[in-house]
């Protein structure tokens, strides 16, 4: 990232398109100097130097107004001006969050440079090709730590889970942590927009700085990797699962210095694959009487609070609000994308209104956001992506079992789906593809749809014209 800037010998901080040079009192965007007041620059410097940490309001006011007693209003005005300078009014740009009654946090990745080169990293992305992400990862520290430990031992780890659970975010955090452990760094390959495995090989080679012809792409990529020590992150493997899995298998056999981390809604099913099924974020039980401080110990609630605070200046949660907040996160099944989408509505609805609105399953699908990744713009888009990868048999069974509002057994599924489908094959496929969860602890396996998946499948059922027949069979089955 540093090569986009004219980096001087003084210490500077790089984030997004900006370069902050505290000693010179300058903020640059590309080659242009950004006009910014002295107080706003002082606040920005304090936040950037402690990126990822909360800086209290009192501390920021003491830094910006060292000889003057001012109130919170002055700080709010200065921060609002700073947000405008950074372009936070543009979709997808987010650098600061407000922590109610605490202060502010700089959440964008920051690269620290000095002496003409990289001196270190804070809260940050590496100098490799990992995508820029502007929000703090919440509730996944233990998972990231575990995957960083086991990846060098296992060599192939697949992060598996349903749409919106946070697979890509976790993979990026793991890759960031491992960037300095391999001589040739980390390379991210996005499979979601590619059409065939030849394109995957070409994309992988290009990220390593090697040009390959399409005709010899796979063989050339494997030859190139034989002498490399590198972490390859393949994102969205379900798009080209069989051929990508085969290519990864060949790479691991031929290139002993390569480690592979994948994100996928379905395991690769190749030799020596270690599968990590990513669980939902933690939600408190319905009986818990929690304070706000205790609520923040549950990652689903912490995520909602942070994203809502970023959306609405002054957003705060009192102890009396915690049951409502927990109810919202339970209705969203602890799914990170769903929680983030719901949190963006706090400038329109109260928590009580939002909780009531979420009883309408169609609202889950209509929640949306601006995102450079099409499948992350809404839950409907995320499930469209998954649905397109199903067989026709799996699609039919998925929409028909949406009539179950609670867990169901294989026998119940047979009774509702009918005789025109291979129910066993479909159930097996839907579990593998993270659209159904299976509880194998009891005498009978019980299957369950996440609320958002059920909402999507129910919409498909209505569109199919089968709804009356399926509901009739459901009622008859008891």
Q: Please give the CATH number for the structural domain made up of 2-114.
A: 1.10.10.10
CATH architecture of the domain formed by 381-477: Orthogonal Bundle (1.10)
Report the alpha-carbon distance of residue 318 to residue 407 in Å, rounded: 34
**Encoded tokens for 373:** 């990744």
What's the pLDDT at 364? 67
Q: How many residues does the chain have?
A: 478
Of residues 185 and 241, which shows the higher confidence score?
Answer: 241
- CA-based angle 108:42:88, to the nearest 5? 40
Q: Tens digits of per-residue pLDDT, 347-361?
A: 888 999 999 888 877
Fill in the DSSP letter of residue 368.
Answer: B
How is the chain split into domains, by residue range?
2-114, 141-277, 292-358, 381-477
**Dihedral through CA 449, CA 466, CA 394, CA 372, nearest 10?**
-70
What's the pLDDT at 268? 95
**Domain 2-114 identical in fold to domain 141-277:** no
**Dihedral through CA 261, CA 263, CA 266, CA 270, nearest 10?**
-10
Do 161 and 116 form a contact (C-beta atoms < 8 A)? no
Report whether pLDDT(256) > 70. Answer: yes
Q: What is the mean pLDDT of residues 357-375?
A: 65
Q: What fold is seen in the domain 141-277?
A: Rossmann fold (3.40.50)
Report the alpha-carbon distance of residue 325 to residue 346 in Å, rounded: 11
Q: Tens digits of per-residue pLDDT, 82-125?
A: 888 888 765 546 788 887 778 888 887 676 665 333 333 444 33
């Amino acid at each position: 990232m540093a090569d986009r800037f004219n980096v001087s010998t003084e210490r500077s901080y790089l984030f997004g398109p900006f370069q902050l040079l505290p000693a010179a009192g300058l903020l640059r965007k590309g080659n242009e100097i950004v006009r910014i007041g002295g107080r706003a620059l002082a606040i920005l410097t304090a936040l950037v130097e402690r990126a990822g940490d909360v800086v209290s309001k009192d501390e920021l006011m003491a830094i910006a107004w060292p000889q003057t007693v001012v109130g919170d209003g002055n700080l709010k005005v200065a921060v609002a001006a700073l947000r405008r300078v950074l372009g936070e009014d543009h979709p997808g740009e987010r650098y600061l969050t407000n922590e109610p009654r605490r202060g502010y946090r700089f959440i964008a990745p920051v690269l620290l440079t000095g002496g003409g080169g990289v001196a270190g990293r804070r809260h940050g992305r590496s100098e490799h090709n990992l995508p820029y992400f502007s929000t703090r990862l919440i509730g996944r520290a233990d998972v990231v730590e575990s995957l960083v430990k086991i990846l060098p031992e296992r060599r192939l780890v697949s992060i598996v889970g349903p749409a919106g659970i946070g697979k890509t975010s976790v993979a990026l955090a793991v890759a960031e942590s491992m960037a300095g452990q391999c001589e040739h760094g980390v390379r991210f390959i996005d499979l979601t927009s590619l059409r065939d495995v030849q394109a995957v090989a070409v994309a992988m080679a290009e990220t390593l700085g090697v040009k390959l012809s399409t005709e010899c792409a796979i063989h050339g990529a494997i030859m190139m990797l034989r002498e490399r020590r590198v972490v390859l992150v393949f994102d969205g493997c379900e798009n080209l699962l069989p051929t990508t899995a085969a290519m990864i298998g060949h790479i691991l056999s031929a290139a002993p210095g390569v480690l592979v981390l994948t994100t996928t809604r379905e395991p690769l099913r190749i030799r020596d694959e270690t599968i990590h099924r990513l669980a939902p974020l933690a939600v408190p039980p319905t009986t818990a009487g929690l304070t706000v401080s205790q609520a923040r110990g549950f990652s689903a609630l912490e995520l909602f609070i942070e994203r809502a605070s970023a959306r609405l200046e002054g957003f705060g949660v009192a102890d009396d609000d915690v049951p409502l907040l927990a109810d919202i996160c339970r209705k969203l099944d602890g799914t990170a994308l769903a929680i983030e989408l719901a949190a963006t509505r706090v400038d329109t609805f109260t928590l009580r209104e939002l909780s009531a609105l979420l009883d309408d399953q169609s609202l889950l699908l209509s929640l949306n956001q601006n995102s450079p990744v099409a499948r992350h713009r809404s839950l409907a888009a995320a499930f469209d992506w998954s649905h397109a990868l199903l067989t026709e048999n799996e699609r039919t069974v998925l929409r028909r079992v949406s009539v179950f509002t609670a867990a169901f057994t294989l026998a119940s599924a047979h009774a509702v789906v009918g005789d025109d489908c291979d129910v066993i094959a479909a159930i097996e496929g839907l579990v593998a593809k993270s659209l159904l969860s299976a509880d194998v602890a009891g005498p009978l396996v019980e299957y369950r749809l996440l609320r958002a998946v059920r909402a999507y499948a129910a919409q498909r059922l209505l569109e199919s014209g089968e709804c009356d027949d399926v509901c009739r069979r459901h009622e008859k089955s008891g």
